[in-house]
Structure 1
Amino acid sequence: METLVNNAGLPSTIGDRSTSDVVVRLRTQDGHDDWIYCHSHILVEKSKYFADRLSENWPTCQIIDSRNCVEVCCQESDFDHHVNFLRLLYIVKDGSVDDMWHGVKNALGILRVAVELGCLQIITACVNYLEAVPWDEAEEDEILRIIPGMGLQAEPILARLQPVNPSAVMGIFLTAIQFATSSPPPLMTDLKITAQEQLEYMITEDDDAPLLTAQDEIKSEAKECVKRLFARFINLLEKLLCEPTESVLEKGEIQSFLSYLSDFSWACQMLTKLEVMRDFVNSWVDGSDQIVKAVQQVGPIAEVEIKLKIIEVTAKVFEAIGYGTVILPTAKRLHMVKVWLPFVRGTKPFIDSVITSDEDALAVKFDGELWQSLESTFVAIVLALPSVDQAEILTEWLGNEHIRYPDLTEAFEVWCYRSKVAKRRLAVLKGNDGMVNNKL
């Protein structure tokens, strides 16, 4: 332990009874009572509290032994922090004792004591330490609970927790979304996924407000980034359709195919929250024929994973169409049903067979609720088509061996009812029109 020199030129060490001229008596309500032999010149120089207590102006300074014993009452949980504080009075110099804190929790405790007993040097040393070291979540919560009540002297500790100005948030969002949709090399996949997760977190409203709102600049950049991503995907599809399967597999393009599909699944989440899903939906509709053909080209090696990812993305596209988030003309909606109904119908039993034969297969991880959701959107889209198109789809469905999925029973029932009452309902409508015209 480092020692200080008193006014007489003698070394001063905490606990040295032979040179001590004052006792600090630490007491708690639980009965913990400890006497620590100290030196008044150190206490007075370093601590305002002790300077006041040992001053001749203190009301009890004339009482016998009042200047030889200073009593400090504290909580049991802070007892050790008070002891450490007194020790630090003897070694702290120029606001720096980098190796004496033994962790964030201990430094916080000493900081509380230093503020209470008025030692600027130890306050500065604690603040410098806490501001520089990493915190875990529990320590961060403790800092947020304690530090704001300590005033300006402790404010630097909170610098890393301060809200960032909107322009900085905007800048990191735009940079992150450009990276997240840039199709980086496989070695950077983890970084890309992290960027995607944090982008979604930034615009999600949970217990706290989103970091930024869906401004026009954000929407525009998100659409452009996904547009460029889809353009690269189409280029890959064209390669898959033109090259032999063996050549495609050798070049690793199947993995790229999977990566694009994963990115699209994430992009749908982002675009939906930003309410700019239209462009992607139109792109997926226009590319549907190529996508389905490309899947037939990949072969069995990655067939399960690719089909699962395609179903995942298609379900999100269908949801946007089926529930009116994106309005498409009749021809495009009918085209989507005719392309994807056979694909989904054949994929479901294939995936089910994989699950049955291999419980550890990736397919097991597929969300079963997605099949139900996809079936519901098929029904919604079919029911929004002209009745003659509905009749064509339902006729094909009733004669197909895979009639169980997707189950279009609800669409069939509604179509039958509408068809049966159509003449009567339209006749009533025309009759009402005639009555209105006569009155006019």
Structure 2
Amino acid sequence: MDAAAPTPPPAGTGTGTAAAAAAVFPPFPAGYSKFNSALNAGLLNPMSPPPPPIDRIRSSPTLFEMMANEQDCHPRNQIPPLPALPAPPGAGRQQQQHHHHPQLMTAPPLSAQERQLLLQERVAEILGSCSPGNQLGDQETGDVRLTLTSRDGLTVSMAVHRQVLVAHSRFFAAKLSDRWAKQQQPQPAPPQRGGATAAAPHHVIEISDCDDVEVYVETLRLMYCQDLRRRLMREDVPKVLAILKVSSAIGFDGGILSCLEYLEAAPWAEDEEEKVAALLSQLRLENSGAGEVLKRVSLEVVPLAADERGTAGTGGEEVLVRLLQVVLEGKDEKARREMKRLVSKMLRENNSGCGGGAAGHGGHGGGDLSKESLYAACESSLRQLRHHFLRVAGSDLAEAAQISRQADNLHWLLDILVDRQMAEELLQIWAAQAELAAAHPRVPAIHRYEVSRVTARLLVGVGKGQILVGKEARCQLLQTWLEPFYEDFGWMRRACKGLDRHLVEDGLANTILTLPLGLQQEILLSWFDRFLNSGDDCPNIQRGFEVWWRRAFWRRNGDPDRPPRQLRIVAATSP
């Protein structure tokens, strides 16, 4: 049965009601009463939460609450800041000086004392890395005190052994000879109490103005090694060169031979070749085997017989001619393109090293190609191009691919000749190929457009002043090849990825503008009609047309009364 609800107190019993309410409900805290009074007075925002009671003691947090709030107090990935180190005296003043000049904040140079300490530490590391049983630096058994002083005043002293130095070094053998030792022998110390005598005296040797004290110590360590070659395998080429220089200075033959064997077998970086060759030439170690090392960077030239000197070039030129021939006859097109770039780079470097084309006028520039060799290769490529081109013009398409191949070879050789300023004769040879130009319309455009690239390269060379020939040669070039060039321009523009259309157009315009004014008018008016009917398949030489127009029809300042020329334009009808 449900319990009966409590009966409310009757009205009119105020005192009893208050007492009963006080008995049932506890009194309000004092803090809440103050908050209610402030709220009624309008001093607080009604939406603000009430303040916590001041007379209520907050209980200690539980373990779960502490774990939940730990990440808020101390983020897991946050590293607590390290305590600040005390600043050295004057650091604040230096910081103020460098505040406005960040570029001045550089590490101060080491003092002489600091450099001396660093040198001693490095020497101690070298001595500490010696193999067991190595007595280099042993104070107890060493009978020679060796002092090494660098050019900047750094000094290192160490104990060495007279027997080891004399056996390995001619320099120390002379210094520690019996006669020298007697002169340097100090007087024996008087006997001490109990009959004991003083320690054996040491010989003292000082070497000043050392290039590198560490290298001297490294060289001395090699004298104590049983297998020098194995020890040098841990070093690099610059360190071995430094050890070789010290070994040569002190007459350490074992070190010299070991360093030369290392240099002969180890690979060199490109910037190390000059250092190796220069040092070996400076030390003059031909009798010690330096010639075997230098064979890597020098070629022995075999003298030719008297009857062979007129027909054969130098050894370097023979190699270049062979490389040129292999590239021209290669079968893989991708490999041919890569090797063409490589050979062009080498020839360009050779040409600049020989004085910029000094070998180009019939002479031999050491390891460079002569003009005769280059033109022999051009004639061979042109002869094969003519053969295949005429066969394809006769409807024999079996060798059509050879047209593009030989034209590309001729274009590459032309680039080399232009770079060496020797392309004038090739322009004249190309301008005289009337038979080849006459057969041009009978060859499909897909096979013949590479031939017009040769014409385009010649036009660029003339237009840029790279090829200087007479007026007759320029006129013959345009008369023979301008029409085939027009016909193939659209194919060149679409099929040749590396073709610079604007460069070719400027070359053609400038070449035309080098001709007499009457020929300019004839060629440019013909181009005007072709361009209106062909559009992008015709080169745009509008700039050259404007120059010709101003030359021909503008009044000159010195002749204001000169009547203008009569321009006659005949529009050609398309078939």
TM range (shorter): 0.5 to 0.7
Could you give the per-residue CA deviations for residues 364-402 of structure 1, whole angstroms, max 9, x where no partner exists?
x8485454233212322xx248x3x54432332344425
Residues 110-125 of structure 1 correspond to what in structure 2 (within 5 A)? 110-125=243-258
**Equivalent residue for 1:433?**
none
Partner Cα separation in structure 2 for residue 330 and residue 30 of structure 1: 73
Change (3 A) 1:307 1:274: closer
Tell me the secondary structure at the aligned position of residue 91 of structure 1.
Answer: coil
User: Which letter maps to 2:333?
Assistant: P
Residues 45-194 of structure 1 correspond to what in structure 2 (within 5 A)? 45-58=167-180, 61-63=184-186, 67-73=202-208, 75=210, 78-91=212-225, 97=229, 100-101=232-233, 102-153=235-286, 155-156=290-291, 157-162=293-298, 165=301, 167-186=314-333, 188-189=335-336, 190-194=338-342
Give 1:195's match in structure 2, choosing from 343, 365, 383: 343
Matched-pair contact (CA < 8 Å) for 1:315–1:373:
yes
User: Which letter maps to 1:38?
Assistant: V
CA positional deviation for 1:86: 0.9
**Equivalent residue for 2:509?**
375
CA positional deviation for 1:104: 0.8
Partner Cα separation in structure 1 for residue 185 and residue 215 of structure 2: 30
Q: Does residue 1:267 correspond to 2:403, yes or no? A: no
Partner Cα separation in structure 1 for residue 497 and residue 201 of structure 2: 77
**Equivalent residue for 1:410?**
547
Please give the TM-score of this superposition, normalised by the length of structure 2. Answer: 0.54
Unpaired runs of 5+ in structure 1?
5-10, 355-360, 425-440
CA positional deviation for 1:90: 2.0
CA positional deviation for 1:227: 2.0
CA positional deviation for 1:43: 0.5
Tell me the secondary structure at the aligned position of residue 72 of structure 1.
Answer: strand
Could you give the per-residue CA deviations for residues 147-204 of structure 1, whole angstroms, max 9, x where no partner exists?
33322447524444447657212322332332233344336423454334434443x2
Please give the TM-score of this superposition, normalised by the length of structure 1. Answer: 0.68
Unpaired runs of 5+ in structure 2?
1-128, 188-199, 302-312, 365-369, 563-575
**Equivalent residue for 1:428?**
none
Partner Cα separation in structure 2 for residue 239 and residue 167 of structure 1: 38
Partner Cα separation in structure 2 for residue 404 and residue 46 of structure 1: 81
Residues 353-372 of structure 1 correspond to what in structure 2 (within 5 A)? 362=497, 366=500, 368-372=502-506
CA positional deviation for 1:313: 2.8
Greater relative contact order (Cα < 8 A, sep 6+): 1
Change (3 A) 1:326 1:405: closer
**Equivalent residue for 2:192?**
none
**Equivalent residue for 1:219?**
371
Partner Cα separation in structure 1 for residue 154 and residue 141 of structure 2: 25
Aligned length: 384
Matched-pair contact (CA < 8 Å) for 2:461–2:507:
no
CA positional deviation for 1:116: 2.0
Q: Does residue 1:315 correspond to 2:462, yes or no? A: no
Partner Cα separation in structure 1 for residue 141 and residue 408 of structure 2: 74
Percent identical pairs in the alignment equals 16
CA positional deviation for 1:69: 3.6
**Equivalent residue for 2:481?**
336
CA positional deviation for 1:119: 1.1
Matched-pair contact (CA < 8 Å) for 2:506–2:541:
no
Structure with higher Rg: it is 2
* Structure number with higher helix proportion: 1
Partner Cα separation in structure 2 for residue 416 and residue 232 of structure 1: 47
Tell me the secondary structure at the aligned position of residue 24 of structure 1.
Answer: strand
